[in-house]
Structures are given as structure tokens and as C-alpha cells.
Chains A and B, each alone.
Chain A
């Protein structure tokens, strides 16, 4: 408890604390971390308000916007999306208190600090259920609030993770690494271990506040992944709810390494603290799911496969000295073989990909070189695997894509003893 107080004191500003004290206690809290989201935030804030008024009119609720130093007027837009705007249109009224407050937690965005602020506020307000909504979730509907919060508020779940209908080639890092590896190691079929829209209970939030080393870089970068892993390790009740379509986000190729730091780095880092948990688990179990577990849309995409192949081959050739410290000679030789062949169709097999990932995880554990460099070195290899995934599913149906992912998951599970073997060497 003393630790919680220290955490709260350090992360909540005096002004924000004053606002929170005015709010009093709440049943439902919705956190919206923002940074320069002026284009989308207004509509999202209104939808959240309408969702709460529709589905939780008898509960005390608060919306908390934590901003990372926006310069486009995002916090003002959240504040201007007043509750009264939503009421006349929808003819909705709350029977209890409903507050909407905003704070700036830093002058530059930091996901970990944003989540830390939301959790500290939730703890202070004694919220029973807390949802976090991404400011990029432009497809949000009022139903999302019920879908995410009800399992926590009424069914006693501790963590509600989303599932979406996605494009088959969207989230390749999730489908080819995060989902299969989390599933193989921790034994739960969690489709989105790195979630941006999710809900958690007050008790899980309190536990995470005290447990997470917020000052550490890995914890800061991958706080969402850490939350999922904390829930798994603490054997909290987890479920997943189908939210609908997740639109393809406009990404740049430079986003890959930061994305890998946030997710793969957090996953690798968790293996050390949770060794006794994951080393003892075999196989995988489904978790309670509301709605579809996953849907794939099949529209064509124009991805430059030649460029992906070039970046893979260049990476394998140029980073040879780094790979020598991370990979086994056999794995490296196989990768070099794939990178050199130009005539035959490119294929980075599931077996080799799984072996590569496990060797990277073991190298991360042993810190053979700087851990951040290990994550960066994985990026060119991921491009190679993504290229193979594209090629294997280019003409496939949604079922084919699902089967492909399932066989990769089984390969991760089958090869798990290899990770245990190299982990201890």
C-alpha cells in the first residue's frame, strides 16, 4: 500500500490530484491516452460518453484524458466534447455522477507513463472497472464500452482483451510472433497480447501498479504487454471480446523497430521473471471469448515484396557478426542459404522462424550483446518471415490464413523444449 502511494505521488500532478479528489469515487473509469490526435479524438470522446450513458447510466463514471504534450489542441477537443453534446441527440441521461477530466502527464509521449497515470487515477477513485481506449480507434462504437467493461463489472473478469476483424496481412508481428509465442509459452490462446483497447479490474490495476517497475525502459515501452503477462502470471481471470473491424493503420517501415521494442522486448523480458511459470506449462488452452475470435478481410494490398526480400538479404549479410553472437551456427547457415538464393521462390520456413525466435529469446536472456541491439537485429529477419507469410497466403481464403497461423502456433509449442534447452546453456 505504501508503494502504491509513492507511485501515485510521483505520477499524479497536484492539479490533476485536485481534479480527482473533486470526482470522488467511481464505478467505471475510461482512460484515453493521447498525443496529437486532434483529427480523431473529438468523435472518439463523444462515442465514449454516449457508450457510458447508454450502457452504464446507473454507475458513477469518469473519463480521463492523459495527454503526452499535444500541440494540436487535443486536450481542448476532449474537454470541448462536453457531455451535454451527447445527451440531447441520444436522449440519454446519467443517474449518477459523470466527470470528464484531462491532464498532461509529460511534454513528450510515453505509453508507460500514460498507463501509469490512468491506473494511479483508477486506484485513487477506487474504480471497479477501467477501460483504456486508443485515440486511433476510429471505428469505435458505443457497444465497445459494454463489450469491454461488462465482463469486468458484472462477470468478475480481471482483464478483457479485444479481438478484431482485420485484414489478413495486418498485424503480421502479432500473428507470426506475439500470439504464437505467448500462446506456446504461457499456454493461453490470447489473440491480441498487445492490446490498445482493453479493460481491467481494480484489483489487477492495483497489483500491476505495485508490481511493474515503471522506471525501467522495458516496462515503459511495453506496458500493455506487461499488463497481459502480469494477468497471466497472477492467474487472473482473462477473457477476450470481439470489437469489430480494426482498420489498417497507415504505417511507415520505420515504425517496425519501435513496435518490436514495445512488444517483443517486453515479451522477451517477461521470460526471465516468469521462468518458473512458462517452463512448466505445456500445450495451450482457449480463454473465454465473446463473439468471433478473429475474422480476416481479404482485399488485395500492394506491398513491395522485392523490397522486403532485399532488406532481409542485406540484413543477413551485413549483420553477420551480430548474428554470430545471437544465433547457433546451424541456424545462421540456414538463414544465409535463404538470403543468397535468388532463383527459387523465397521461403523462410516456420521451423526455422521458430528456432530463430527462440535463439533470440535465449540471447536476450544471456545479454550476449546490448538487449536493444538484439531486438533491432530481429527486424530484418521479421521482414523475411513476413514475406513468406505474404507469399503463402496471397491467394488463400480466411480459413487458409487461420490454418497457416494455427500451424505456426503448433510449431512454437512443439519446439518449446528447444528454448528450455538453450535457455539453461
Chain B
């Protein structure tokens, strides 16, 4: 009985040792790939950072108002953020490549799927980043134009434009990622339609007097206005 237990234990130990001896080189390969990946990812990060600094990407980001968004969210500069993103994506890719060497069943497919997903992730993040920049830029342009045209509620107009662009960008972002495509599509359609209908009603009722004034002014061009005020002539 005792001998049987010892034999079983010995056999188990031998199998474990054989298994470990079988997997150890693969683990070493994983570590080497991960280390090499770290070096490559680091070099890629430095390269991207230099390129972005060279093209003054932070200035572009500042111009479009993205830097303010990042500052508010306590995030680093746009250049730093993109460089770090590149580092982690590259390193994660190498680590997964190393993991695939281990030959764990089922993991290979998942890793292949991850690599296929990467381009879509990049495109989605690209859409999100530049979409948010566009939202910030156009909302500010609308705010300035509305203030200088002396329109009522300029901030409301600006926020509306920002919201519409962000909703549009988010729907594109999720669609690109393939997350709840149908739900996002329906939600976007409903939200966008509601906003447009709301705006149409608001302009229709609220802009009635404005339209009247405009038409009166437009068709009374030849008439002399006795009480006409002088405008400032800047130049």
C-alpha cells in the first residue's frame, strides 16, 4: 500500500517535471518575446512622440480645444496620450504573441481575433479623438458667431451643436467597434430625430417674429427710415 502511494507520487512528480520541462522553454520564449516587445514598444513610443512633437500635434490639439478636455479629465497632453497608447498596444500585442507560443488550446483563436480587432480599435479611437476635436471647434465657432450676431441664447446654440456632433461621433465610434450596432443605430436615429424635431418646432415658433422682421426689412429696402440709427464704422 505504502509502496503504491510512493509509486503514484513519484509518477505524478515525474509527469509534472516532464510537463514543466516541456513548458519551461516556452515560458522562457514568452519572457524573451515580452522583453523584446517592451523594447520595440518603447522605441515605437519614442518615435511617435518625436513625430508628433515635430508636427506640433499638441498645438493642433490646443487649437481645436482637445487639450482643455484632456486637462479637465486630468489626462496628459495629446502627444503623451497617443504615445502611451501606442506603447501599450504594441507591448500587449507582443505579450499575446508570446502567450500563443504556450499553445494553450482555445487561446490561439482569441488572440487571432484580438489582432483582427486592433485596426478597428485604432479607427474607432481616431474617430473619437477627431470627432471630439470637431465638436469643440464647431461649438466654439457657433458661440462666437452667435455672440457677434447678437443672437439670443448663444450658449444654447453652441451646446446643441456640440451635443449633436458628440452623439454622432459616439454612434460612429460604437458602430466601428461593433458594440450593440443595432441598438446604437436605433438610439442615434431616435435621439437625432428628436433633436431635429425639437429644433424645428423651436425655430418655427420662436423664430416667427425674427422671420417677420427679416422679411419686412428685406422688402422695404427703398424706404427711408426717419428714425434710423447710425452704425459704428470701424475703418
Q: Mark A339-377, 1 if CB is under 8 A from B, else 0.
A: 000000000000000000000000000011111010011
In the complex, A170→B143 CA distance in Å? 28
Chain B residues contacting A263 (CB-CB under 8 Å) are 235
The count of A-to-B residue pairs whose CB atoms sit within 8 angstroms is 95
Number of B residues contacting the other chain (C-beta, 8 Å)?
Answer: 26
Q: What residue of chain A has the Cβ atom nearest to residue B137's Cβ?
A: A370
Closest Cβ of chain B: how far from A394's Cβ, in Å?
A: 13
Q: Residue on A with the closest CB to B155?
A: A318
For A377, the chain B residues whose CB sits under 8 A away are: 144
Q: Tell yes or no: B234 within 8 A of A by CB.
A: yes
Bound CA–CA A156/B235 (angstroms): 29
Residue B230 CB within 8 A of the other chain: yes
A367 touches B154 (CB 8 A): no
- Contact A314:B147 (CB < 8 A) given known A302-B229, A325-B68: yes
Which residues of B sit under 8 angstroms from A257, Cβ to Cβ? Answer: 148
- Given known contacts A376-B148, A380-B147, is B235 in contact with A259 (CB within 8 Å)? yes
Q: Which of A287-305 contact B (CB under 8 A)?
A: 301-304
Q: Is B232 located at the chain interface by the 8 A CB criterion?
A: yes
B140: interface (CB < 8 Å): yes
Chain A residues whose CB sits within 8 angstroms of the CB of B64 once the complex forms:
370
Contact of A174 with B by CB under 8 A: yes
The DSSP consensus for interface residues of chain A is helix
- Docked pose: A172 CA to B62 CA in angstroms: 32
Partner pick for B145 among A310, A367, A376, CB 8 A cutoff: A376
Q: Confirm or deny: B107 has a beta carbon within 8 angstroms of a beta carbon on chain A.
A: no
- For residue A370, give the distance in angstroms from its CB to the closest CB of chain B: 5
Point out the residue from A248, A318, A367, A369 that lies within 8 Å of B233, measured CB to CB.
A248
B229 to chain A: which residues have CB within 8 Å? 302-304
CA distance A344 to B93 in the complex (A): 67
Check A260 against B234 for contact (C-beta < 8 Å): yes
Across the interface, do B235 and A303 meet the contact criterion of CB distance under 8 Å?
Answer: no
Bound Cα distance A371, B155 (Å): 20
The residue that A170 contacts in the complex, of B65, B228, B233, with Cβ under 8 A, is B233
Q: How far is the CB of A254 from chain B (nearest CB, A)?
A: 7
Given A318-B154, A325-B68, A380-B147: A302 and B235 within 8 A (CB)? no
B residues near A259, Cβ cutoff 8 Å:
234-235
A60 CB, min distance to chain B CBs, angstroms: 34
Question: Known contacts A255-B234, A318-B154; is A369 also within 8 Å of B65 by CB?
Answer: yes
1/0 contact string of A73-117 vs chain B (CB within 8 Å): 000000000000000000000000000000000000000000000
Residue numbers in B under 8 Å from A51 (CB-CB): none
Instruction: Find residues 155-197 in chain B having any chain A CB closer than 8 Å to their own CB.
Output: 155
Complex Cα distance A310/B65, Å? 28
A251 close to B (CB within 8 Å): yes
Contact A256/B148 with A172-B234, A301-B230 known, Cβ cut-off 8 Å: yes
Question: Which bucket holds chain A's interface residue count?
Answer: 35 or more
Chain A 301-326 interface mask (CB, 8 Å, partner B; 1/0): 11110011011001100110010010
Chain A: CB-nearest residue to B230: A301
Within 8 A of B (CB), among A324-339: 325
Asked if B14 is at the interface (CB within 8 A of a chain A CB), the reply is no
Given contact pairs A370-B63, A370-B64, A322 touches B144 in the complex (Cβ within 8 A): yes
Inter-chain contact A368/B62, CB cutoff 8 Å: yes
B63, B145, B147, B235: the one within 8 Å of A369 (CB): B63
Chain A residue numbers with a CB within 8 Å of B154 are 314, 318
Q: Let me know if A322 and B235 touch, CB within 8 A.
A: no
In the complex, A173 has a CB within 8 A of chain B: yes
Binary flags per residue of B135-157, CB closer than 8 Å to A gives 1, else 0: 00100110111011110001100
A280 within 8 A of B: no
With A318-B154, A369-B140, A370-B63 known to touch, is A171 a contact of B230 (CB < 8 Å)? no
List the interface of chain A (C-beta within 8 A of B).
Answer: 169-174, 194, 248-257, 259-260, 263, 301-304, 307-308, 310-311, 314-315, 318-319, 322, 325, 367-371, 373, 376-377, 379-380, 382-383, 386
A250-B231, A368-B62 are known; give 15 further A-B pairs, CB within 8 A: A171-B233, A171-B235, A252-B231, A257-B148, A260-B234, A303-B231, A308-B232, A314-B150, A318-B147, A319-B144, A319-B147, A369-B140, A370-B141, A376-B144, A379-B148
A sample of 27 cross-chain residue pairs with beta-carbon separation below 8 angstroms, ordered by A number, consists of A169-B232, A172-B233, A248-B230, A251-B231, A251-B233, A251-B234, A252-B231, A254-B149, A256-B148, A256-B234, A302-B228, A303-B230, A308-B232, A314-B154, A315-B148, A318-B143, A318-B147, A322-B140, A322-B144, A325-B68, A370-B63, A370-B64, A370-B141, A373-B141, A376-B144, A380-B148, A382-B234
Which 9 pairs between the two chains have the least Cβ-Cβ distance? A173-B234, A376-B144, A301-B230, A251-B233, A259-B234, A251-B231, A304-B229, A302-B229, A170-B233
